[in-house]
């Protein structure tokens, strides 16, 4: 079942605790002031000061030559893949990774690029042997293997640098470039305790989402070599992603980078607390990593649990059966988490 099942139409407008995703956050007062004070220009002409600052800041922060601001993470990944690959070429990636499972096969539909899926290990990594084995021979009957697309975090799991490096090395040994879907890049870096450049340095291009965990209302950034970012900029325009006075959004992104990265550890700690409570209730299978908790009710009463929590002002996603993903974020403080815990204990008490 899709991890997005049951997310829409939950009536979350009045929720006191929304655990569906870390994309549901609202700009706080400081971010709204930054948006209001933003200097604006036409970004398609390269004249928006805030966009230029954001791109430069993230390029420097990740140790890359250039960066590109885009409306969404899906588009950021897509233009990255299109910049790397030509029609008839192939991307090797994880079967459960976002670019394969949840982005509507955009690289194939719009770019004529094949997606070759390999199994994802239980720790979120790709096995180097599987990567090497997926690379095609130089044969006119086969697609040209061009790119390895990695992911970190994966379902909340922070993939260790050594495991990422091993997969990347297997790809590079076969002549592949490497892309990283780092939608929650900063969650991964915080959990791994590594330098941001150490994680970003494992890939040629890195896509980072500013609205997942960091609290910005929209926007992602693709960072990488100058020539690839130039190609990505052309693709952005072709796909309709060229924005005008985009500094309104870029200002929010800059604020998020300056104020909301260091606090991600708080989300991780609250996720651990929520997982501990669920395990203590003995009501089903529980796992957690970084800011995510996955709970599979043992009695299968997903719908009843959702309705009970909604009456308590707590919104969760998930379908009618299987695992429910609960995501901690900046808008779930200690009091909101306490409400969720109270609701869970009330249901299973």
Q: Which residue has the tokens 């700690």?
A: 269
Among positive and negative, which fits the CA dihedral 60, 252, 270, 307?
negative
**Model confidence over 138-169: pLDDT tens digits?**
999 999 999 999 999 999 999 999 999 999 99
First to last CA, the chain: 28
User: What pLDDT, on a 0 to 100 scale, did the predictor assign at position 13?
Assistant: 57
User: What pLDDT, on a 0 to 100 scale, did the predictor assign at position 4?
Assistant: 54
- Indicate the Cα dihedral angle 240, 246, 252, 256, nearest 10°: 60
Helix (H) or strand (E) holding 48, with range, is none
Q: What's the helix, strand, coil split of the chain in %, to 5?
A: 45, 20, 40
Helix (H) or strand (E) holding 117, with range, is strand 114-118
pTM: 0.94
Whether the upstream peptide bond of residue 21 has omega within 30° of 0, thus cis, is no
Q: Encoding tokens for residue 21?
A: 């995703």
**Model confidence over 249-299: pLDDT tens digits?**
999 999 999 999 999 999 999 999 999 999 999 999 999 999 999 999 999
Distance CA 41, CA 152 (A): 33
Domains of the chain and any CATH numbers: 12-22+263-348 (3.90.1150.10), 29-259 (3.40.640.10)
What is the C-alpha radius of gyration for the chain, rounded to an integer number of angstroms? 20
Length of the chain in terms of residues written: 349
pLDDT in tens, the chain (349 residues): 455 555 555 455 568 999 999 999 999 999 999 999 999 999 999 999 999 999 999 999 999 999 999 999 999 999 999 999 999 999 999 999 999 999 999 999 999 999 999 999 999 999 999 999 999 999 999 999 999 999 999 999 999 999 999 999 999 999 999 999 999 999 999 999 999 999 999 999 999 999 999 999 999 999 999 999 999 999 999 999 999 999 999 999 999 999 999 999 999 999 999 999 999 999 999 999 999 999 999 999 999 999 999 999 999 998 778 999 999 999 999 999 999 999 999 999 8
User: What pLDDT, on a 0 to 100 scale, did the predictor assign at position 9?
Assistant: 54
User: What pLDDT, on a 0 to 100 scale, did the predictor assign at position 349?
Assistant: 82
User: What pLDDT, on a 0 to 100 scale, did the predictor assign at position 1?
Assistant: 45
Alpha helix stretches (DSSP H) within the chain: 29-36, 49-62, 73-84, 98-101, 106-111, 128-134, 161-173, 185-192, 196-200, 226-238, 247-259, 264-281, 302-311, 334-348
């Amino acid at each position: 079942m899709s991890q997005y099942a049951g997310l829409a139409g939950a009536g979350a407008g009045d929720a006191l605790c929304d655990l569906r995703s870390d994309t549901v956050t609202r700009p706080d007062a400081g971010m709204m002031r930054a948006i209001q004070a933003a200097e604006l220009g036409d970004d398609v002409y390269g004249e928006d000061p805030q966009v230029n600052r954001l791109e430069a800041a993230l390029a420097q922060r990740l140790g890359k030559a250039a960066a590109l601001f885009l409306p969404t993470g899906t588009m950021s990944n897509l233009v990255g893949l299109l910049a790397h690959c030509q029609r008839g070429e192939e991307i090797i990636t994880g079967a459960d990774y976002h670019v394969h499972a949840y982005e509507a096969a955009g690289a194939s539909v719009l770019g004529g690029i094949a997606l070759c899926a390999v199994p994802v290990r239980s720790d979120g990594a790709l096995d180097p042997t599987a990567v090497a084995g997926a690379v095609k021979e130089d044969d006119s009957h086969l697609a040209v293997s061009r790119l390895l697309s990695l992911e970190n975090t994966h379902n909340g799991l922070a993939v260790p640098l050594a495991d990422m490096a091993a997969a990347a090395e297997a790809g590079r040994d076969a002549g592949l470039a490497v892309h990283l879907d780092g939608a929650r890049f900063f969650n991964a870096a915080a959990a791994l305790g590594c330098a941001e450049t150490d994680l970003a340095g494992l890939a040629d291009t890195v896509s980072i989402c500013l609205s997942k965990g960091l609290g910005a209302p929209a926007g992602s950034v693709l960072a990488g070599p100058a020539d690839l970012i130039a190609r990505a900029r052309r693709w952005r325009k072709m796909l309709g992603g060229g924005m005008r006075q985009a500094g309104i959004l870029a200002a929010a992104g800059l604020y998020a980078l300056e104020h909301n990265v260091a606090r991600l550890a708080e989300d991780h700690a609250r996720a651990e607390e929520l997982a501990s409570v669920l395990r203590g209730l003995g009501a089903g299978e529980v796992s957690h990593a970084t800011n995510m908790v996955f709970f599979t009710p043992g009695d299968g009463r997903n719908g009843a649990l959702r309705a009970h929590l909604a009456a308590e002002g707590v919104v969760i996603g998930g379908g009618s059966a299987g695992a429910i993903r609960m995501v901690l974020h900046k808008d779930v403080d200690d009091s909101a988490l306490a409400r969720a815990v109270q609701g869970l204990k009330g249901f299973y008490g």
